Amino acid sequence: MTEHSCDVVVVGAGLSGLTAARLLHKHDLDVAVVEASGRVGGRAFTLENRELGMVSDQGASLCVPAQSTLWQLIKDVGVKVWQQPPAETVYVTEDGVSRFTPTSLPTWNPLVRLDHYNVFSTMDRLANQIPPEEPWEAASAQEWDSCTMKDFFDRTVWFKSVRRITDAFVRVLACAEPEEVSMLWFLWLMGQTGGGRWATLVNPAAASAGEYRVSGGMQHLCKVLVEQLGDKVTLNCPITKVKNVEDGVLVTGNGATWKAKAVILAVPPPCYNKISLSPALPEAFHHITMGHVYKCTLYYKTNFWGNGRVQLFTDYPGCPFVYGFDDTIPGNKFPAFTAFITGKKATEAKEMTKEQRKDAFCQCLARAFTSESEVMQPLEYVEKNWNEEEYIGGGFGAYFPPGVLTSDRIFGR
């Protein structure tokens, strides 16, 4: 067995692990990053197709103004970004197709508008009452953690049309169903991502501030961090055991052992189950679940959806997709459209073949943009089922069912 020694071992070479390692390295600590898979980036995964002349983010892609830590990292590292223009929204239901801007709703009914405003402003108000570093210390933590978002919507939302939007909001942000996620956890998550005004269909603030993408794809940022760390990163080395010892910690995996003063587990919490930890972590960790998500992209000869950027929300029987957007990237030869299958629909989509998922995507676009002849003949289709990633287990992140976050203060910390 190969033996190494260092100050800190970081398990996981995704954005969190590499950022932690960079910070430690800057403070002259000897750090080792150990990654189970054969690539860096974790949930940032940029697919390149030189034949089609395209770069596609099949994982994390957007940088929004609320992500101040990410922005500071981008600035420090020096990677380039580009701004996406504001998008017109196309909303498809069994009742038809609606188009609206980020400052309007697809209805003139003042009561529906009031209902929409009330539920999202209420969520923002409650989210502001949750301490970012200690959500279990919120005054209403026990009450909110005993409820799901479905419970909250049941008593808050008046109109069916608004309920469609709120349910889709949870499915897009958590990649889970409203009845699966803790109200406390979801409100905390909202607070960390800028609140409902940044994430809902009607979003004047985001329309003016904009969304940004990393040039060359989000995984490029991770590769730049690896370059700065030099030979500190080891790939294809699943960690199987972490043991506290008298003067530090022993980290073991794939025929190698690292003796260090400390260890950082920069992997999704559900993946802790793959590692023998001594001492063991609280039981509550076994109840954290990864979201379910497919990210799918179609490439076409022309952008038949129009010259302006669009985003698409769908909610009608038989359509597995929840949200999509014009994913045309400067420098790519062909325009692209990307969409997500999340939550329960992602679980059901596993029973479909790849060709069936592609056809369902095409039919969704045909219904939204009434251009069936071209829609059904894409140049290329690529997809990523994040739940098939052995050392990640899903996406976008881990969600907390009711009762977990407040179960144990030690667990919370």
- Which residues are known binding-site members for FAD? 16, 35-36
C-alpha gyration radius of the chain: 22
* 30, 7 Cβ separation under 8 angstroms: yes
Taking the CA atoms of 39, 293, 346 and 381 in sequence, report the sign of the dihedral they define: negative
Cis peptide before 279, with omega less than 30 degrees from 0? yes
Numbered residues of the known binding site for substrate: 340
Strands 380-385 and 293-299, bridge-based pairing: antiparallel
User: DSSP character for 276?
Assistant: E
**HSE on the CB side for 111, CA within 13 Å?**
5
**Alpha-carbon span 82 to 62, nearest angstrom:** 10
Strands 96-100 and 2-5, bridge-based pairing: unpaired
Measured between alpha carbons, how far apart are the two ends of the chain, in Å? 34
Which amino acid appears at position 276 of this protein?
S
Find the helix packing angle between 160-174 and 149-156, rounded to 10°. Answer: 160
**Alpha-carbon span 236 to 229, nearest angstrom:** 17
Burial of residue 101, with CB atoms counted within 10 A of its CB: 0-12 exposed, 13-18 middle, 19 or more buried: middle
Helix/strand/coil percent split, the chain, to 5: 35, 25, 40
Numbered residues of the known binding site: 16, 35-36, 340
**Alpha-carbon span 63 to 270, nearest angstrom:** 25
**Alpha-carbon span 364 to 321, nearest angstrom:** 8
Strands 262-265 and 8-11, bridge-based pairing: parallel
